[in-house]
Amino acid sequence: MRRSLRAALAFTVLAATPAAATEQLADGIAAQVGSDAVLVSEVLHAARPMETQMKAAGAPEAELAKARASALEQLIEARLLARVVKQSELHASDADVDQAIAGIAKENGLSLEQLQASVTSHDISYKEYREQIRQELERRKVVQTMIASRVRVEEDDLKRLYAEQFSKQPAGGKTAHLRQILIVFAPEIGRDRAEACRLAGAALTRIRQGTSFEDVAHEVSAVAPMDGGDIGWIHEDSMAPWMKVALAPLAPGGVTDVIELPFGCGMMKLVEQREWIPVTYEAAQKALEQEVYEQKLAQEYRVWMDQLRKNSYIERRGYFADAAQLGAGALGGESNEVTPQEGSGSP
């Protein structure tokens, strides 16, 4: 991903404005970050999954420009973090990456081979996936080394979050742990209602012939595929009427027939059911502490990153300078800054 300025091509925009529907982008420099260049091809590759969905939904070019600008900001942030990692010697080793991936596979009930197959089925190479994991591990090392000590969790924070999350909790009733397989209607790929329901029926047949619900969900479901369709615990008061009707005859472990919904076809599995016991402050305190800590850590990280940006040379070019203006509100108000001299330090 990381390339020197000398290796980059000149940036070219073959249109008058970023909102032009016929615009084409040639490879070149989207932004310069210190002595590093972020290439147009990198931005377009990073933005492709979101852009594909937006185009299918008929999003205008101005919205696509915002998505590309957002992808560029993520790449700029990655460059800045990489510099801090290098300066502070906070690199993640291959062994660290291997251990993290093994943990991800275990948490999802997958073998390493199954995880790799899942990754490559989502338009990303396994090499790219490993690099993403490495960057995340290095980001966490930076956060823990430079930012975590700034975070303070106060009891008032915990009580406020408890009130937000549990003040309206049910006093009783039942709650159910559910998994779901959903195959959505997708006209853009030729999948109409009948085809979605046919695929759902084929999935149900496989489950009834002995393939685990989790494995089938991992392969075909639009809902939580990496979690085997697991949608967690849902209280009966929060269930949609169709869900209550479908689940009513099931015992734990049971699977519904194919359910046809306005947006797709699928089925549900009742994993477990139990009486709801209201959550007390004392029972929730540890989880609340972790959540408040993570929230405050994210806030401190954003403050730190904003300062790092201000102390770094960043210049967006051509189309991406204009796109950054379009997306400035969603990107934290930042646009085409050219800040301190190249090579300046981090905060």
Q: Tell me the per-residue pLDDT of 224-252, one tens digit each, with 9 for 90 and over.
A: 998 999 999 999 999 999 999 999 999 99
Could you tell me where the DSSP H helices lie in the chain? 40-56, 61-88, 94-107, 112-120, 126-146, 155-166, 193-208, 213-220, 241-247, 281-310, 318-326
pLDDT of residue 230: 96
Please write the tens of the pLDDT for every residue from 168-213: 999 999 999 999 999 999 887 788 999 999 999 999 999 999 999 9
pLDDT of residue 62: 87
The answer to whether residue 281 is domain-embedded is no
Q: Which of 80-94, 112-126, 251-265, 307-321 has the lowest mean pLDDT?
A: 112-126
DSSP 212: -
At residue 26 the predicted structure's pLDDT band, cuts being 50, 70 and 90, is: low
Q: Domain with 230 in it: what CATH number?
A: 3.10.50.40
Quick one: 185 and 122 in the same domain?
A: no
Q: Flag whether 154 is in a domain.
A: no
Question: What is the distance between the alpha carbons of residues 1 and 128, in angstroms, rounded to a whole number?
Answer: 9
Residue 332, pLDDT > 50, answer: no
Number of domains in the chain: 2
Is residue 26 located within the same domain as residue 137? Answer: yes
9 and 112 belong to one structural domain: yes
- Let me know if residue 160 belongs to a domain: no
Which pLDDT score, from 0 to 100, does residue 324 have?
66
Radius of gyration of the CA atoms of the chain, in A: 24
pLDDT band, residue 313 (cuts 50/70/90): very high
Name the percent of the chain lying above pLDDT 70.
Answer: 86
Q: With a cut of 50, say whether residue 346 has pLDDT above it.
A: no
Specify whether 23 is located in the same domain as 109: yes
Can you give the CATH number for the domain in which 76 is found?
A: 1.10.4030.10
The rounded mean pLDDT for the chain is 86
Report in angstroms the alpha-carbon separations of 264 from 188, 189, 201: 14, 14, 12
Instruction: State mean pLDDT over 49-68.
Output: 89
Same domain, 320 and 268: no
Q: 239-252 as b/e, with b when 16 or more CB fall inside 10 Å?
A: beeebeebbeeeee
- One-letter amino acid identity for 100? A
Residue 306 lies in a domain: no
Q: Would you say residue 18 has pLDDT above 70?
A: no
**pLDDT value, residue 5:** 25
- pLDDT tops 50 at residue 260: yes
Q: Could you please report the per-residue DSSP string of 2-70?
A: -EEGGGSPPPEE-SSSTT-TT--EESSEEEEETTEEEEHHHHHHHHHHHHHHHHHTT--HHHHHHHHHH
319 and 206 belong to one structural domain: no
Shared domain for 62 and 181, answered yes or no, is no
- Domain assignment present for residue 242? The answer is yes
User: Residue 327 has what pLDDT?
Assistant: 54
Interatomic CA distance for residues 56 and 190, integer angstroms: 12
Residues spanned by the domain of 271: 172-275
pLDDT class for 330, splitting at 50, 70, 90? very low
Mark whether 136 and 23 lie in a shared domain: yes
Does pLDDT of 19 surpass 80?
A: no
Q: Are strands 314-316 and 29-33 parallel, antiparallel or unpaired?
A: antiparallel
Same domain? 84 vs 10: yes
143: left (phi over 0), alpha (psi -120 to 50) or beta: alpha
The DSSP 8-state label assigned to residue 170 in this structure reads: -
pLDDT at 154 over 90: yes
Q: Determine the length of the chain.
A: 347
Q: Is residue 67 part of a domain?
A: yes
The per-residue pLDDT for 15 is 29
**Mean per-residue pLDDT for 267-293?**
96
- Does 223 fall in a domain? yes
pLDDT band at 321 (very low <50, low <70, confident <90, very high): confident
Q: Is the model's pLDDT at 344 over the cut of 80?
A: no
The answer to whether 206 and 218 are in contact (CB under 8 A) is no
Q: What is the pLDDT of residues 67-81, one digit of tens each?
A: 999 999 999 999 999
Residue 80 has phi, psi (to 5 degrees) of -65, -45
Determine, yes or no, domain membership for 338.
no
128 and 185 fall within a common domain: no
269 and 317 both lie in a single domain: no
Domain match, 205 and 321 both: no
| Predicted local confidence at residue 326, as pLDDT | 61
Q: What is the pTM of this model?
A: 0.62
| Residue range 97-138, pLDDT digits in tens | 999 999 999 988 889 999 899 888 877 899 999 999 999 999
CA distance 157 to 165: 12
34-48, 205-219, 326-340: the lowest-pLDDT one: 326-340
